[in-house]
A and B are shown apart, each in its own frame.
Chain A
Amino acid sequence: MDKLIADLKEQISVQLKLKNIKPEDIGDEEPLFGAGLGLDSLDVLELIVLLKQKYKLKVSAEDGPKVFRSVKSMAEHIIAKQVQNV
C-alpha cells in the first residue's frame, strides 16, 4: 500500500505538472480537490486517463467522487479492483 501511494504521488505530480509541489509533500489523505491540492475538472480527466494507462482501470461516474477524494482512496480503489480481478 505504501509503495503504491508513493508511486501514485509521483505519477500525479508528473501527469498534472505540479512543479511547485513535491510528491512527498502531498498528504495521503489530503483532499485532491477544493481546499487540498486545488485540482479542477480538467485534472479529473487526467487522473482518469492515468488510472487507465498505468493500472488498466476504468472509473465509473458514480465511483469518481469517492475514488478521487485523496491519493489513499485512489490506492484503495486500485487494490480493491486488483483483488476482484484475481
Chain B
Amino acid sequence: MKIYIRSASSISPQETFNNPLFLNELSEYPNNRLTCIEPDYNELIDPKLSRRMSRIIKMSVASALSCLKDAEITNPDAIITGTAYGCLEDSGIFLANMVEQDEEPITPTAFVQSTHNTIGAQIALLLKCNRYNNTFVSGGVSFENALLDATMLLMEKDTDNVLVGGMDEITDMSHTVLSRMGLYKRKPVPNRDLFKLNSKGTIGGEGAAFFLLAGTPSKNDIACIDALTTFYKPGDITETAQQVNSFLTAQSINCNDIDLLITGNNGDTRNDEIYVQLQQLLFGGIPTVSYKNLCGEYPTSTGFALWMGANVIKTNSIPAILNYKGTAQNKINKVLIYNHYQNTHHSLILISSC
C-alpha cells in the first residue's frame, strides 16, 4: 500500500523552514556542531504556551504546525513522534538541579518536560487532539519506527491521516559527552569539507522534521512512501546487501530502477566504509547524494533525508549544494534512502512520485 506525503516541514541547520527555495544555499558551520536555524516562535506559538517549552519542543511544535497548515489539516487522526534523545536540554537541567540542590526538592517543570513523549503531548495539547498519540524511542531507528507505526495505522483504514515526526537536539552537555565517546572529529571541520577528509569521527547535528501522511491520494501530494524497513547489526556487508536486495525484490524492483540513492555518509571512515562497499556491490552507477554535511549526524537524521527526498521528487531537481555523484536522470521517480547509525541501526525508505 502506498502512503501519500501530503506535506513536509523541516527545521534544520539549513534554511529549510517555510522557505520556498529548496536548499538553494549552503549554511556553513566552522566546527563540529551544526545547530538549527530557528524561526521567530512568537509568530507561531502563543508566548503563554511556549514559555515552558525547551528548544527541541519549540522546533518540533513549529515544524508540526507548519506541516499541518500546508496540508490544510487542523486536527490529525494520530500524532506519532520518534526521538532518540528526547528533551535532552530539560533532562540536563533537572539532573544538574538535583546535584546543585543536594537532592532537595527541585522545580518540577524541567522534569515534567524532559520525557521523550513531551513533544507529541505538547502538539496534542495545542491542537486539543485526543486521538492516537505515540512516541518511539528506538535509538537510530526512532523515526523509522514512528513512520512504520503511521504506515500500519493507515493500512488499517480507520485512520485517514497521521502527523508523524522525527526530532533530536544537541546540547552543550550531549556534545561534550558524545565528543568524549569519539563520535565527533577531534579537530574542527567545516561542514562544507565533511566528505573531503578521510578521518574518524563525524559532526554533530540536530533537527525536527514532520510529515502529514495519508492513505488516500490527493492532488497536493508531494511524494509517496512505497516501503520501509529496518535491520539491526548485520553481520557483514554481504548480509547488508542481502537485506537491501530482499527489500527491493519485495517491491518488485531492482537497483537499476532507483533514480536517486540518498545515503547517510557522515564523514567518519569507520561509518562510510559500509556505503563504499555497498556502492561496489549493489549501487554502482546509480546517482547518489549524501546529506549529513547539511544537517550533521543525529539518530533521527532520516527525517531530514525523507524531507529532502520528498522535495527532490516534488521539484524534480537535485540542489547543487548536495554532494552529488553520477549522471542525473531526466525524471526522478524513485528515491531510496539508506542510512545506518553507527553500524547498529540500519534503515531503508523507498519513496516515489505519485
A20's nearest neighbour on chain B, judged by CB, is: B47
Per the bound structure, the CA–CA distance linking A46 and B110 in Å amounts to: 10
Which residues of B lie under 8 Å from residue A18 when comparing CB positions?
51
| Per-residue contact bits, chain A 16-34, to B (CB 8 Å; 1 contact, 0 not) | 1111100000000000000
Q: Which of B35-59 contact A (CB under 8 A)?
A: 47-48, 51-52
What 1/0 flags go to B41-80 for Cβ under 8 Å of A? 0000001100110000000000000000000000000000
The smallest beta-carbon distance between B275 and chain A, in angstroms, is 43
Given B47, B51, B104, which contacts A16 in the complex, CB threshold below 8 Å? B51
The 8 Å CB contact of B107, one of A19, A38, A49, is A49
Q: State whether the Cβ of B251 lies closer than 8 Å to any Cβ in chain A.
A: no
In the complex, what residues of B have CB within 8 A of residue A19's CB?
A: 47, 51
Which chain B positions have C-beta within 8 A of A66?
Answer: none
> Across the two chains, which residue of chain B brings its CB closest to A58?
B105
Give residues of chain B (84-120) contacting chain A, Cβ–Cβ below 8 Å. 101, 104-109, 112
Contact of A45 among B47, B51, B108 (CB under 8 A): B108
Chain A nearest CB from B57 CB (Å) reads: 13
Interface size class, chain A: 10 to 19
**Residue of B with least CB distance to A46:** B107
Tell me the bound Cα distance from A50 to B97 in angstroms: 13
Which residues of the partner chain B approach A49 to less than 8 Å between Cβ atoms? 105-108
Contact between chains at B108 and A46 (CB < 8 Å): yes
Alpha-carbon distance between A36 and B47 when the two chains are bound, in angstroms? 16
Please provide the chain A residues from 69 to 83 with a CB less than 8 Å away from any CB of chain B in the complex: none
Q: Which residues of B contact A42 (CB under 8 A)?
A: 52, 108-109, 112
Measured in the bound complex, the distance between the Cα atoms of B105 and A52 in whole Å is 8
In Å, the complex CA distance between A53 and B103 comes to 12
- Find residues 338-352 in chain B having any chain A CB closer than 8 Å to their own CB: none
Chain A residues near B104 (CB-CB < 8 A):
52-53
Contact residues in B for A17 (Cβ distance below 8 Å): 51-52
Binary B-proximity of A45-63 (CB < 8 A = 1, otherwise 0): 1100110110000000000
- Which B residue's beta carbon lies closest to that of A15? B107
Complex: A81 Cα to B108 Cα, angstroms: 24
Asked, given contacts A19-B47, A20-B47, A53-B101, whether A45 binds B52 with beta carbons under 8 Å apart, the answer is no
11 pairs from A and B in contact (CB 8 Å cutoff): A15-B107, A17-B51, A20-B48, A20-B51, A45-B107, A46-B108, A49-B105, A49-B106, A49-B108, A52-B104, A52-B105
Binding site for B on A (CB under 8 A): 15-20, 38, 42, 45-46, 49-50, 52-53
Closest 8 CB pairs of A and B: A17-B51, A45-B108, A20-B47, A49-B107, A46-B107, A49-B105, A19-B51, A52-B105
